[in-house]
Structure 1
């Protein structure tokens, strides 16, 4: 009887050792798999923004090439904040709790970036803001915080240049009433948003600096949204009718909404007002190609997406970001933009 007890005890010890070895092996395998992958959390301010969705799509496209380059699997997880900053902050908390290697944020509210920076800093998770720029003081809170975007001043100047070049070729394209001025309305993206204000300022400044007199009929915020721009344009058609000679829009989505309203009320106009936008989204470029839109500015979503991915991966791998992105200045990278009109739109279609 005693022999069986001893034998049973030995068997039990062997089983414990085997189970322990299996658990250790599984843990090592899990750790090995974790080492082979980089997990990047991406939270965007609004999932129905055409430019932002195209930017995220380009990030997904860039992953395969990046995986080949670094020899690691990259897992992207996207969360839509639906214009709710509290939701976005919760999404960042979730990425941190799940130990993501880097977090990329398209802010709902740029004024509260410090909250997100402090959370990432405490958890030691690198942070890349993109498209919607935090204030500089918040970027300076930690040396693993970056910003990728475009230059709003450049966008405004290029949008204005679209109008200047078209006016210089044919002033009658705009000046329907022959008073020597362009009567215009302006669709602003987001009240208080720095890109909206800067694009607005420099678009109009570029036109007037070229010696073209401008008279503003109205300016209304349409929150970057096509349906709001459509409704605003219907209101303007009722108020101003054929007085409108130019519609300036802070982005292509709103410009397209305005064009849809104009086309549905074509009988109101002796000549349809010209429409100019910014972003160079696919539908916007197609509108330029069909001469429905005077022009736009190619805001390089692909270039921004690649920069965001490069920086996130470099930080996750403890690489020197400057070596991966030589064009970065400090912790800020601006991707160049390009003016697009009927003369060169075919170069950008299908990119």
Structure 2
């Protein structure tokens, strides 16, 4: 009888313990499911809010969130073109556990290791985009760090091709002094920026490789800004005037700044005899309209939605512990950490 009672007590105890374990695990499971159902928190750190192309990337990310409201939540932070400001933002987000991963449009490409090392300490993923660190080893140094951008020489090559084709199609319209040399002004983004250096170099070398001689009348560094390009180019135009046969700008914002000067003085307003060839990069909507009206010869499309999509997908894969390119058609280049989105020629 005593043995039976002991056995019953033992069985009851086991039942209670198993029930408690089941209820406890059920609560944990429910909590885990609840956490998984919450949108992934992504901090998007932009080098500056007022850059037109960066604004297009932001709009593309906002569209991704709109289409995936239960999956992701982007919060945007302005670096104000100051790496110290961006570093402070990174530090605050990490200390407050405010993000699950970071999309980083670094301010100073030579100081990218500063935010990356901060993020590395907290072991969360980071995807850099658009502004490539001066040394790719900075990204390679952290296993949860990747880059989405473009192939810098490609934009310059396509710019050069646009001018070569225009020259071959109607040389007289461009070579206005008939000396068989293309006299041009170069509007450069930044001296130490990889994209700016490559666009500047390869646009001209492509023209030369196609048998057209060139002469650089002036090179002006305009920090990617329309207002600076407008101010700097006006001084150049007043000095060189109609000796300028082409304007090669590292981006559309600077190209448009130059066009505003040309139009102020009666050029590029529809009269073929008073039109100077202008080519840019990005194919932003305003540039597309100028190209359609014949006031700008062409641009090179850098697709903001493609950059946003790749950055988002890689970041989500990393957050969920998957391989960075899992379920995508992207491929890494020879660095093993960079995805390059192709440029496209835009002629309207």
**Deviations along 1:73-102, whole A, 9 cap, x unmatched?**
311000111110000011111221232111
Pick aligned residue for 1:332 from 325, 332, 338: 338
Match of 1:88 in 2: 86
1:56 Cα deviation after fit: 1.1
TM-superposed CA distance for 1:111, in Å, is 1.2
1:290 and 2:293 matched: yes
The equivalent residue for 2:55 is: 53
Decide which moves more: 172-181 or 269-278. Answer: 269-278
Report the count of equivalent residues: 312
Q: What secondary structure does 2:344 align onto?
A: strand
**Structure 1 runs not aligned, ≥5 long:** 1-24, 346-351
Query: Do 1:176 and 1:271's aligned partners in 2 also have CA atoms closer than 8 Å?
Result: no
Quickly say closer, same or farther: Cα 1:66–1:35, change in 2 above 3 A. closer
Tell me the equivalent position of 1:280: 283
Distance 1:314 1:173 in 2: 52
Say whether the 8 Å CA contact 1:46–1:81 is kept in structure 2: yes
Distance (Å, rounded) in 1 between the aligned partners of 2:65 and 2:318: 16
3-state SS, counterpart of residue 133 of structure 1: coil
The answer to whether the 8 Å contact 2:317/2:325 transfers is no
Unaligned runs of 5+ in 2: 1-26
Q: Are residue 180 (structure 1) and residue 168 (structure 2) matched?
A: no
1:103 is matched with which residue? 102
In structure 1, the partner of 2:212 is: 212
SS in 2 for 1:258: helix
Structure 1 residue 66: deviation in Å? 4.3
**Contact 2:267/2:276 (CA < 8 Å) preserved in 1?**
no
SS of the residue aligned with 1:103?
Answer: strand
Written as runs of structure 1 = structure 2, the 5 A alignment for 1:27-42 is 32-33=34-35, 36-42=38-44
**1:314-325 maps to which residues of 2 (within 5 A)?**
314-325=317-328
Aligned mates of 2:86, 2:33 — CA distance in 1: 29
CA deviation after TM superposition for structure 1 residue 35, in Å:
5.1
d(CA) in 1 for partners of 2:233, 2:39: 49
Residue 244 of structure 2 is aligned to residue 233 of structure 1: no
Shift in alpha-carbon separation, 1:267–1:39, aligned structure 2, 3 A: closer
Q: Is the 8 A contact 1:45 1:106 kept in 2?
A: yes
d(CA) in 1 for partners of 2:290, 2:239: 26
1:24-173 to structure 2, matched below 5 A, reads 32-33=34-35, 36-66=38-68, 72-99=70-97, 100-134=99-133, 135-173=135-173
TM-score, normalised to structure 1, is 0.85
CA separation in 1, counterparts of 2:311 and 2:136? Answer: 18
- The separation in 2 between residues aligned to 1:323 and 1:168, in whole angstroms, is 45
In structure 1, the residue matched to 2:201 is 201
Deviation at 1:65, TM superposition (A): 3.5
Q: CA RMSD in A?
A: 1.9
Matches within 5 A, 1:8-19: none
Structure 1, 84-93 or 113-122: larger mean CA deviation: 113-122
Contact 1:43-1:104 at 8 Å conserved across structures: yes
The alignment partner of 2:40 has SS state of strand
- Give 1:37 deviation, angstroms: 1.8
